[in-house]
Amino acid sequence: MEEALPHRAAELLGDARRVVVLTGAGISAESGVPTFRDDLTGLWARFDARELATAAAFHADPDLVWGWYEWRRTRVRRAEPNPGHLAIAAIEARIPGTTVITQNVDDLHERAGSPAPIHLHGSLFAPRCVAAAAHPATIDDAADADADAPDGEPAQPHDGRRIAPPRCTSCGTLVRPGVVWFGEMLPEAAFTAAVEAAAACDLLLAVGTSGVVYPAAEIPRIAARSGAAVIQVNPEPTPLDRVCAVNLRGTAAHVLPSLVAAAWAADPAPRS
């Protein structure tokens, strides 16, 4: 069933007691962080994000892939949470039984005030070495991969900026981004907590995800099978449409604040 915003959606959110919010790259798009479906720009225009974000790409050319992740860290450090992230933090403040699950490797939920989002695909800010018993590594927070090569002024035309990854100070192996690439297992504790929250919620909001990358794409389906209503916020149709009670076709920064305002219009006091 499909509706424009927001009567049914507002009613579902207004009545919910246990909410799960599952986010994907689309929630951060309006903060200037590109999704995996957007064309890369500037220095990276000749690469495909979906091909760079792989273990095979890192092993074939670590400097290229590390350089891309350094560039992304810089973009994220410079980005700010948008009204979509803030609306999700407002839902958490209002409904204590809310769990935020994100596929994103940025920290924009945390900076919007979400206390403990579950990161299914790791973090840009937690690199580790490639050893089987991986050691966490530190990165230079002050480093700015873009400093002398701003967007639109490529240092080397048509080429990404290559940066050699550091070596682990404990075992000497290469340091890699602390993210989950295709073919790699999701962090077990995070995935278990996400599945449990989805199975126990009465409302799941799926925001800005293409719904094609598994096992994260299973989470709204688990919620629906367990009897929860699923609301999707996405400007485009996705394979999740059919499990949703309401599909809100719009952007996260536009739709989520209206949804929150409509849900509590009649009852502005937070629940105890």
Contact residues toward ligand BJW (CB under 6 A) are 24-26, 29-30, 35-37, 53, 103, 105, 121, 179-185, 208-210, 212-215, 233-236, 238, 251-252
- 94 vs 121, beta carbon nearer ligand BJW: 121
Q: Which of residues 18 and 126 has its CB atom nearest to ligand BJW in the complex?
A: 126
Residue nearest ligand BJW by beta-carbon distance: 26
- Secondary structure of residue 206 in the 3-state scheme: strand
Nearer to ligand BJW, 98 or 251 (CB): 251
Q: Which is nearer to ligand BJW, 185 or 266 (CB)?
A: 185
Element housing 229 (H / E): strand 229-233
CA dihedral for 100, 269, 266, 113, sign (positive or negative): negative
The token pair at 125 is 């800010």
- The three-state secondary structure class of 18 is strand
Residue 36 near residue 25 (C-beta atoms within 8 A): yes
Shortest Å distance, C-beta 153 to ligand BJW: 24
User: In angstroms, what is the minimal distance from the CB of 269 to ligand BJW?
Assistant: 29
φ, ψ (nearest 5 deg) of residue 152 = 85, -10
Q: From the CA atom positions of the chain, what is the Rg in Å? A: 19
Active site residues: 121
Pairing of β 128-129 and β 118-119: unpaired
Query: Which position has the token pair 């209002």?
Result: 94
- Least distance from ligand BJW to the Cβ atom of residue 62, Å: 14
Minimum distance between the CB of residue 263 and ligand BJW, rounded to whole angstroms?
Answer: 18
